[in-house]
Amino acid sequence: MSTTRSPDGFGAALRQFFGVPFRQQTYRNLAYLALAFPLGLAYFVGVTTGLSTGFGLLVTLIGVPLLVLTVAATTALAGFEAKLATWLLGVETTPPEALDDLGSADLRTLDGLVEATRRLLSEPTTWTGLLLVLLKLVFGVVAFVALVTAGSVAGTFLTMPLFYDAGTVTYTVGPYVVDTLGEALAGSVLGVLALLVSLHVLNGLARFGGFTTVVLLGDGLDDTPSDGA
């Protein structure tokens, strides 16, 4: 049994496709992707330095406290990632539970410090948060490549009418050289389509980042990011 798309449904699909540059959420998603690489790099350097130094000093009295501090700091970073996903992507997710435990613990006494450490190390979201922070670099590299590729491809086509006849610039599409105004204008139309498709792809990538944060930190699975304004 075949079904046909209603005119209203087709119009909604067209509005969804062509309206992507005019939605605020698109630019919040782009900001999330743009921040991913520098944040991921900083996270990776800080966490791996702390862990490697702590493991290297396990034979001394400094190694274990340094490892615990590194895990605590990583948990705080995971909490920041949860808030970042909420601020930019509209994803409602809960920061690692150990952050609440650390906030309510009395760290001025040895018993309070030991209890806070036990809670920190026993919470599952402490370790899934560590995984989230370390994976941020991988996601950041993918986001950076996607942003640069999308921007360069769309930008190249969109600027064809401006520079197609410049002596220092040569546009080629496959085996064809763009050397007339008509060809350059056709290229700019392709640029508009490339821009629209790229924004949808980048929105999807941002949603994937938010979904990963939700899955690893728990809660909020029904509130995945959307493209809505």
Which residues, 6+ apart, have CB-to-CB distance to 222 below 8 Å?
none
The residue behind tokens 């991921």 is: 40
CA distances from 196 to 15, 22, 113, 186, 193 (A): 12, 11, 53, 16, 5
Per the CB < 8 A criterion, the answer to whether 119 and 98 are in contact is yes
pLDDT at 229 (0 to 100): 43
Do the Cβ atoms of 85 and 94 come closer than 8 Å? Answer: no
Instruction: Report the distance separating Cα 121 and Cα 130, nearest Å.
Output: 11
**CB atoms near residue 121 (< 10 Å):** 14
Largest CA distance in the chain: 78
Q: What is the pTM of this model?
A: 0.85
User: What residue spans define the domains of the chain?
Assistant: 23-217
| Residue 223 pLDDT | 46
Give pLDDT, residue 165: 76
Task: State the residue for tokens 């599409």.
Answer: 173
Which position has the token pair 């959307």? 226
Which residue ranges of the chain lie beneath pLDDT 50?
A: 1, 220-225, 229
| Token code pair at residue 97 | 């539970």
Query: pLDDT by residue (tens digit) across 23-38?
Result: 999 999 999 999 999 9
| pLDDT tens, position by position, 107-119 | 566 666 777 788 8
The Cα–Cα gap between 154 and 72 comes to: 43
Contact call for residues 40 and 141 (beta carbons, < 8 A): yes
In this prediction, residue 219 carries a pLDDT of 54
Spatial distance between the Cα atoms of 55 and 154, rounded to a whole number of angstroms = 47
Concatenated DSSP letters of 4-31: ---HHHHHHHHHHHHTGGG-HHHHHHHH
